[in-house]
């Protein structure tokens, strides 16, 4: 199959790209002509950048912490100085500090929020001005099934990953008129962070390379916006957040009414996505202004 998704002349920053998923994303973009700023705290960043340049690609390495605004700003400036623009951000950097909820310490919560939430926020804000001036940008935030559905022992990680969906929703709204599309990737892959949690037969299927095409698509000109793309073992899915039409109880609702009709509320057909917070408010007021159900 010929490559229809090309990135010639495009510039990407991929965080956490010294190994695992980030490395796979960086390599996949570089193979399609993208110049890549490979970001990671350790020596892996330079190793992956060298791997790309050895294959006739274009890459630089950067070791800024994603949660350090000054370091991230300097990284973005380096990319602009080298290549004149920044078109793509894949915010992939992450850590785990797993414990059951009762045993999570404040330090463990802060560490995970600092990398996943603050790091994604900081990197997105650092490229935002450049993308607005260009009238073009693609931001891929990395959420997780733990954040979408929960996972034992990952309350801190799940909270951070769920927060990125909220960040995506708002950046989608604010970026739309500037040509910036923002999406979430929810990957399932055997990496240094997760390999100990997976049986060998699953790890063999859940390779980072099997996820990377999803990141490439979300970083492309053809990308949608405000979607959560599930990816793992070469399988891709669309995760939807929808809301039922709602039952109107009149101007003086009662908790007992909700309890009595809960199955009706929960099983109501016609669930649809809500485009923004005020759309839900408008729906509620319109329903309330009509007849009681």
Residue positions annotated with a catalytic role: 157
Gap between the Cα atoms of 48 and 89, Å rounded: 17
- Judged by phi (left if over 0) then psi (alpha if -120 to 50, else beta), residue 167 lies in alpha
Considering only the C-alpha atoms of the chain, give the largest distance between any 2 of them, rounded to a whole number of Å: 70
Gap between the Cα atoms of 25 and 203, Å rounded: 18
Provide CB contacts within 8 A for 183, sequence distance 6+: 139, 140, 141, 168, 218, 223, 224, 225, 226, 227, 228, 229
Give, to the nearest 10 degrees, the angle between helix 69-83 and helix 119-134.
Answer: 30
Gap between the Cα atoms of 246 and 284, Å rounded: 8
Gap between the Cα atoms of 52 and 29, Å rounded: 10
Q: Which two tokens stand for residue 258?
A: 């909700």
Element (H, E) at 59: strand 58-62
Element (H, E) at 237: strand 235-239
Gap between the Cα atoms of 7 and 34, Å rounded: 5
48 phi/psi in degrees, rounded to 5: -70, -40
């Amino acid at each position: 199959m010929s490559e229809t998704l090309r990135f010639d002349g495009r510039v990407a920053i991929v965080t956490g790209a010294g190994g695992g998923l980030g490395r796979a994303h960086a390599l996949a973009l570089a193979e399609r002509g993208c110049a890549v700023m490979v970001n990671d705290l350790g020596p892996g960043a330079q190793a992956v950048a060298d791997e790309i340049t050895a294959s006739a690609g274009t890459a630089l390495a950067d070791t800024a912490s994603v949660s350090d605004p000054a370091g991230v700003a300097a990284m973005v400036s380096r990319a602009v100085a080298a290549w004149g623009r920044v078109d793509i951000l894949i915010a992939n950097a992450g850590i785990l500090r797993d414990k059951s909820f009762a045993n999570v310490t404040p330090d463990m919560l802060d560490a995970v929020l600092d990398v996943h939430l603050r790091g994604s926020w900081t990197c997105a804000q650092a490229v935002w001005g450049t993308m607005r001036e260009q009238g073009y940008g693609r931001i891929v935030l990395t959420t997780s099934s733990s954040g979408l559905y929960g996972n034992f022992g990952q309350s801190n990680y799940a909270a951070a990953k769920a927060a990125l969906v909220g960040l995506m929703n708002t950046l989608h709204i604010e970026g739309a008129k500037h040509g910036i599309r923002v999406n979430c990737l929810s990957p399932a892959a055997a990496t240094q962070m997760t390999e100990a949690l997976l049986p060998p037969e699953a790890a063999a299927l859940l390779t980072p390379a099997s996820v990377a095409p999803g990141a490439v698509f979300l970083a492309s000109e053809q990308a949608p916006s405000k979607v959560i793309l599930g990816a793992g073992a070469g399988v891709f899915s669309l995760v939807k957040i929808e809301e039922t039409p709602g039952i109107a109880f009149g101007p003086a609702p009662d908790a007992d009414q909700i309890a009595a009709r809960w199955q009706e509320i929960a099983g109501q057909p016609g669930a649809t996505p809500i485009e923004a917070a005020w759309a839900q408010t408008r729906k509620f007021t319109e329903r309330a202004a009509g007849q009681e159900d």
